[in-house]
Copies of this chain bind each other. A is one copy, B any other.
């Protein structure tokens, strides 16, 4: 049995695995190119600051170090053991580690769940759990702690001495881990930690993310994911990263069907529904990158630059065209290319009468005649207009010998004078020029739109960190019925959760129907009430717009006759009577039990928008009204809620409150609710209410 999914994260238990002071290599080889020899060679080459213990029963010395026949023979404590032995030997080696009270184990060995051998993997994980050993792998390429130079990986990328950096990487793909390090190095960056999680028999992407979120050397977290085994733990880790204000950038594979098929064949991961992943990334402020280059570019910007304090961006360019290109890109990404205040514009036009001073600000080729102009424009843009970011396209200034020195020093001085403002430079620069600007906190991009892309990503992180989410108290579980639930019972449960519903009554006779209708006020609707009848309209079980007592009585009789005719075996609880409510916008609120993330709340507009256009969004429950508002605004049909052709806008406050309350209900009753559809949830100019609800409960787990 695999361990049940849980949001618990035990960081202290990860210390020996991720910050080891002593490392044993089980199956160590004298050959530094063999899998069992590579970690030994890498630890020696990198002057790992702790003890290195090669373990091999057939050698006394490995790569110049004394070797041990068993991990049990090692005199001192062993924090981390790296297992490179064949699959058949893993369990006995693990038993010895348990006896030795090893703290962490990295298992390179493959041949487990990834080829269908799940039972041996579960046995391994069970034994490690009992022994209190945290286990990474199997079928992984290990981990590297770049600060302490603990290189516990056999990837050839670590055949040279490693360089520490500030980007923490978690990769479910082993090959990608080493590749990522090489990629980071080509961008003059490096990693703080690399974790490749392989089959995730114990330590998974959630554990690693939480560890990095708390690590003082890690300024940005990169996730390379194919799926997620433990949704609640992953969400808890993302929440921790947000609380600690550590940006998370993710590449999540399997966006399309062909991709998903390949991801499933590549590892044993259960790829969650991509739309759910995408929505959860939005919910937790995770930036989803579409390419490896974007992945590193955004991380690099987080490490080098300050997070912008707002979404306003000033653009100072020496090419009007590139300025417009940046403005287009920034707008598309949700930044605000707000105009420069008029006084500052006037001052700029005094400096260069033909400049464009609004924003983007075009200094024009005049700076060639007076190199100080660029600096003066940048100072004006930094001091006026309350911009959170300032980006400059400066063409080939950064490799023009006549202009480099002046602009280099002015950039460094301007940045020092404005430490909280995000500065970015784009253009052609020499490596020296780039290095100096980046050391001063100014990331440099060759491509102008990569600068705006990174600024938009960083502004998104800042927004996510700024918008403090309410600490939500999840209520006690409701006393839900098991088995099938009729519409009225479902509406009552929804109402008890704090979501407004139409006042509906159950009636058992035609006379009761007429009385209830008169009491509620005409016109009314009558619907057959039966947990067994799902498509009420199709069988003649719904009557709309009933205008008087006689109509109500007749409708009751006709509905019951039609229902008995269509489904003779259905248990019929009478009819439901409710006021006929019209006007407003029909929306759908739903709860689904996601196999990975548990209770998920869905929102969309009714009818074709959900059914044909799949224009819906999801959030993991629970969430507050701020998040609900973001959710509402993220569907394509959102303009229909804002009031069209003189119509008043829909009551978005009530809608957001209903979504948040529904999410609290979903979180409180995660064990009992399989799905809940409120369709339609009618949002009117003032107020909103559920007109129908379908609840499917789950049998109680033993």
Whether the pair A266, B321 counts as a contact (CB closer than 8 A) is yes
Q: A657 at the A/B interface (Cβ < 8 Å)? A: no
Q: A320 at the A/B interface (Cβ < 8 Å)? A: yes
Q: 1/0 contact trace for A109-132 toward B, CB 8 Å?
A: 000000100000000000000000
Instruction: Write out the residue numbers on chain B whose beta carbons fall within 8 Å of the beta carbon of A179.
Output: 319, 322, 395-396
In the complex with contacts A395-B175, A447-B292, A259-B612 CB distance below 8 A:
no
Whether the pair B266, A332 counts as a contact (CB closer than 8 A) is no
A408 to B92 CA separation, bound complex (whole angstroms): 45
Whether the pair B358, A265 counts as a contact (CB closer than 8 A) is yes
Instruction: Write out the residue numbers on chain B whose beta carbons fall within 8 Å of the beta carbon of A325.
Output: 251, 253, 259, 291-292
Whether the pair A324, B262 counts as a contact (CB closer than 8 A) is yes
Selected interface stretch from A472-480, A515-523, A633-641: A633-641
Instruction: Write out the residue numbers on chain B whose beta carbons fall within 8 Å of the beta carbon of A226.
Output: 321, 324
Instruction: Write out the residue numbers on chain B whose beta carbons fall within 8 Å of the beta carbon of A329.
Output: 290-291
Interface residues in A578-626 (C-beta closer than 8 Å to B): 608, 611-613
Q: A328 at the A/B interface (Cβ < 8 Å)? A: yes
- From A114, which residue of chain B is reached at the shortest CB distance? B354
Chain B nearest CB from A538 CB (Å) reads 11
Whether the pair A447, B608 counts as a contact (CB closer than 8 A) is no
Whether the pair B332, A255 counts as a contact (CB closer than 8 A) is yes
Whether the pair A328, B255 counts as a contact (CB closer than 8 A) is yes
Please tell me how many copies of the chain the complex holds.
2
Whether the pair B639, A321 counts as a contact (CB closer than 8 A) is no
Q: A161 at the A/B interface (Cβ < 8 Å)? A: no
Q: A232 at the A/B interface (Cβ < 8 Å)? A: no
Instruction: Write out the residue numbers on chain B whose beta carbons fall within 8 Å of the beta carbon of A173.
Output: 319-321
Task: Name the one of B157, B447, B639 contacting A613, with C-beta atoms under 8 angstroms.
Answer: B639
Whether the pair A266, B356 counts as a contact (CB closer than 8 A) is yes
A388 to B622 CA separation, bound complex (whole angstroms): 48
Whether the pair B115, A319 counts as a contact (CB closer than 8 A) is no
Chain B nearest CB from A589 CB (Å) reads 21
Q: A701 at the A/B interface (Cβ < 8 Å)? A: no
Instruction: Write out the residue numbers on chain B whose beta carbons fall within 8 Å of the beta carbon of A163.
Output: none
Chain B nearest CB from A142 CB (Å) reads 14
Q: 1/0 contact trace for A237-261 toward B, CB 8 Å?
A: 0000000000000010111111101
Instruction: Write out the residue numbers on chain B whose beta carbons fall within 8 Å of the beta carbon of A262.
Output: 320, 323-324, 327, 356, 358-360
Task: Name the one of B267, B292, B321, B396 contacting A253, with C-beta atoms under 8 angstroms.
Answer: B321
Chain B nearest CB from A600 CB (Å) reads 22
Interface residues in A314-360 (C-beta closer than 8 Å to B): 318-325, 327-332, 337, 354, 356, 358-360
What would 5 more interface pairs be, CB under 8 Å, given A157-B396, A256-B328, A291-B450? A171-B321, A266-B362, A293-B446, A608-B644, A611-B645
26 inter-chain pairs at a CB distance below 8 angstroms, sorted by A residue, are: A175-B322, A175-B395, A176-B321, A182-B428, A224-B321, A253-B325, A254-B324, A255-B328, A255-B331, A256-B328, A256-B331, A257-B331, A258-B327, A259-B328, A262-B324, A262-B356, A262-B359, A262-B360, A263-B324, A266-B362, A293-B447, A611-B644, A612-B640, A612-B644, A613-B639, A636-B636
